[in-house]
């Protein structure tokens, strides 16, 4: 309980879902003054052992002359030692439990930064270090990762790199037979099961047709764009960060999809007369960061979309953007929560808007 990440673990899971549903309903009601025409059932998966990525804090305690390894305590810089983490996926549990002992054997513990753990198409351990690692350190790290059948990534100066140059990180979207590659630092949803169910629900709500042109905004690695490309004539996918655009385009190529185009644009600004926007779209999917998509939604109606699915990680900005969408003549057809982070108070949501 001291680690502070799982702030509602004292509640039974059905009460957690009810709490999140109330939080979403209150924001839509109080901020936007609306209620959806229908509430969707909460989208949820396993209550525990769902988190496929974790960042482990590491700090040298000067007074005690010892290395602290664990998770940050709620509202402080204290590090809480963790023997096991109930929300971490099972393959990462043994790595997590043996990690502190291994790190304490390294020659310069005071020069270690954080550690990141990944589980997907393979397991991986990434170590941030502020001083060069000795040969004996490298042996310890390689032996540890070999024992756990995990890739070893190092983050010294510059970008994180795998020790074996041909190694990469990735995850599957099984329903669409897709493999998405990513690198440390890229955004991925930490809950694999709910992520795949979320993509399926988004496509079900959007009802893409084979002859349609669809827009995916804040597309990231192509988590929605690539499944969409299997259902429609053309997908235009837009992302603010060029390196993610390049990564998504590479994912399309590796999955033999040639009907999706990726573009970089500053999505905190109003949609301009960008060439990709000129032909218009039948439907739009957007999955913005926590601060929402206010400047984007102000111009969405001009793109001609009849249907819009908004995936939100912040009900407050979803409610704010809902006001603007209603002004533009959309109605809030359906909404529901996505239980991406069981045991926490974090609320994700999905909303379907249709042109009135």
149-177: b or e for each residue (b if 16 or more CB lie within 10 Å)?
A: ebbbbbbbeeebebeeeeeebbbebeebe
Active site residues: 313
306-320: b or e for each residue (b if 16 or more CB lie within 10 Å)?
A: ebbbbbbbbbbbbbb
DSSP calls for 150-171: EEEEEESSSS-EESSTT--EEE
Q: How crowded is residue 13: how many other Cβ atoms within 10 Å of its Cβ?
A: 17
Q: Return the SS3 of 301.
A: helix
CB 13 within 8 A of CB 46: no
Structure-block tokens of residue 312:
């939100």
Structure-block tokens of residue 61:
């305690």
CB 290 within 8 A of CB 318: no
d(Cα 340, Cα 319) in Å, to the nearest integer?
19
Sheet bearing 330-338, strands edge to edge = 38-39, 330-338, 348-355, 307-312, 283-286, 213-217, 234-239, 260-264
4 Rama sector, left if φ>0, alpha if ψ -120 to 50, beta otherwise: left
CB 326 within 8 A of CB 277: no
DSSP designation for 113? E
In terms of Cα–Cα distance, which of 265, 255, 250, 194 is closest to 229?
255
d(Cα 56, Cα 172) in Å, to the nearest integer?
24
DSSP calls for 233-258: SEEEEEES-HHHHHHHHHHHHHTT--
């Amino acid at each position: 309980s001291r680690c502070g990440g799982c702030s509602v673990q004292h509640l039974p899971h059905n009460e957690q879902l009810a709490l999140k549903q109330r939080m979403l309903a209150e924001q839509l009601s109080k901020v936007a003054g609306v209620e959806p025409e229908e509430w969707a059932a909460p989208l949820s998966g396993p209550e525990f052992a769902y988190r496929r990525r974790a960042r482990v804090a590491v700090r040298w305690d000067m007074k005690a002359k010892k290395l602290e390894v664990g998770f940050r305590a709620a509202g402080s810089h204290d590090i809480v030692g963790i023997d096991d983490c109930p929300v971490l996926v099972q393959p990462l549990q043994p790595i997590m439990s043996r990690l502190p002992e291994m790190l304490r054997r390294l020659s310069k513990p005071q020069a270690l930064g954080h550690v990141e753990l990944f589980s997907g198409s393979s397991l991986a351990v990434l170590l941030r270090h502020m001083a060069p690692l000795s040969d004996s350190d490298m042996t310890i790290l390689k032996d540890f990762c070999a024992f756990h059948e995990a890739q070893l990534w190092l983050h010294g100066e510059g970008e994180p790199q795998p020790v074996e140059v041909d190694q990469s990180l990735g995850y599957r979207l099984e329903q669409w037979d897709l493999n998405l590659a990513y690198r440390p630092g890229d955004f991925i949803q930490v809950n694999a099961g709910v992520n795949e169910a979320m993509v399926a629900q988004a496509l079900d709500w959007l009802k893409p047709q084979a002859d349609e042109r669809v827009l995916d905004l804040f597309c990231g690695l192509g988590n929605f764009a690539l499944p969409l490309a299997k259902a429609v004539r053309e997908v235009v996918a837009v992302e603010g960060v060029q390196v993610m655009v390049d990564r998504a385009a590479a994912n399309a190529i590796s999955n033999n999809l040639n009907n999706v185009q990726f573009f970089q644009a500053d999505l905190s600004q109003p949609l301009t007369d960008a060439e990709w926007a000129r032909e218009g779209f039948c439907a739009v999917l957007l999955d913005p960061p926590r601060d929402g998509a206010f400047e984007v939604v102000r111009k969405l109606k001009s793109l001609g979309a009849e249907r819009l699915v908004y995936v939100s990680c912040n009900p407050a900005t979803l409610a704010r953007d809902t006001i603007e969408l209603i002004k533009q003549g959309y109605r809030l057809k359906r909404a529901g929560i996505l239980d991406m982070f069981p045991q926490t108070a974090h609320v994700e949501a999905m909303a379907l808007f249709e042109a009135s």
